[in-house]
Structure 1
Amino acid sequence: MNLRPQPPTGAKPVNELHDVYDFLDQVRMRPGMFVRGGSLLELQAILYGYRVASEIYSSQPMTDFEHTGPFAEWLWPQLGRSHSSPVGWAVEITKAADTVDKSAVELLFDLLDKFKAEHRPEAR
């Protein structure tokens, strides 16, 4: 009899993730495990670490979530801004969440779905 707890349906071990979007799918399923207190600054820090590791270990560094990366540049018009924010996407999404009565994490994933649909057609 196997008494070891089983991961939630859809949860994958890290060695089965293919890219940052696979990782973000795991965060979406269990945000409390990755995003303490619902702070997107926590997630932004994790993604910065992911970018650093990808730069060290990959010939194709992941820059999607950099301060001036594709997601951030796409995000500003979505939030009604004409230019980048000095405080970054995590803070701006958190501020915007207060105005739409959603948690910052929920709003991030709503925006991420829209971003992926527009910029990553293979992810649909």
Structure 2
Amino acid sequence: MTEPQRKGRPPRPFSEMHDVYDFLEDVRLRPSLYAFHSSVMHLQSLLYGFEIALQMHGNTGTPFDGRAFSDWLRHQINGQYGSLVWGYAIELEAKDRGMPAMDLFFELLDKFRAETAR
């Protein structure tokens, strides 16, 4: 789904977000607001920076577990992009599937969260 087709609530103030997944729900609504050209690689960098900031400031907030997501992702895309960072692997896989990379990221994120919540 392209951004002009997305409708819904306006972005929330950061003060109303409880964890990284609240933030990602806002990214889902307006990816280009947070990631240059709606790039999954840029989103990955943003999430990594978020994790570093939490560690540096002793915050016990919920970081995005990029390592667990990356390990899980290898099985989802048959290890095809095994040594690549997960953002780039998703961008390549989306290109192969003929779909926007950000849409594929959120499809995979939803599946990852559902499977790892068990």
**Shorter-chain TM-score range:** 0.7 to 0.9
Measure how far apart 1:9 and its partner are. 1.1
TM-score (norm 1): 0.79
Structure with the higher helix share, 1 or 2 = 2
- The correspondence of residues 53-64 of structure 1 with structure 2, limited to 5 A, is 53-57=53-57, 58-59=59-60, 62=63, 64=65
Query: Which amino acid is the alignment partner of residue 80 of structure 1?
Result: N
Q: Percent identity between the aligned chains?
A: 35
Question: Does structure 2 conserve the Cα–Cα contact (< 8 Å) formed by 1:44 and 1:90?
Answer: yes
Aligned to 1:112: 109
**Partner residue in 2 for 1:5:** none
Provide the rounded CA distance (Å) in 1 between the counterparts of 2:98 and 2:108. Answer: 15
Gaps of 5+ in 1: 1-7
Q: Computing the radius of gyration over CA atoms, which structure comes out larger, 1 or 2? A: 1
The CA deviation at 1:119 is 1.2
The alignment partner of 2:9 has SS state of coil
- The higher-RCO structure (CA 8 Å, 6+ apart) is 2
Give the CA deviation at 1:63. Answer: 5.1
Query: Aligned pairs, how many?
Result: 110
**Structure 2: tracts of 5 or more residues without a match:** 1-7
Moved runs in structure 1, 4+ residues, more than 2 A? 59-63
Distance, in Å, in 2 between the alignment partners of 1:107 and 1:60 is: 26
Taking the aligned partners of 1:32 and 1:60, their CA distance within structure 2 comes to 24
Counterpart amino acid of 2:100? S
Tell me if structure 2 keeps the 8 A contact 1:97–1:107. yes
2:103 maps to 1:102: no
Instruction: Please tell me the residue identity of whatever aligns with 2:18.
Output: H
Query: Counterpart in 1 of 2:78?
Result: 80
Aligned partner letter, 1:106:
D
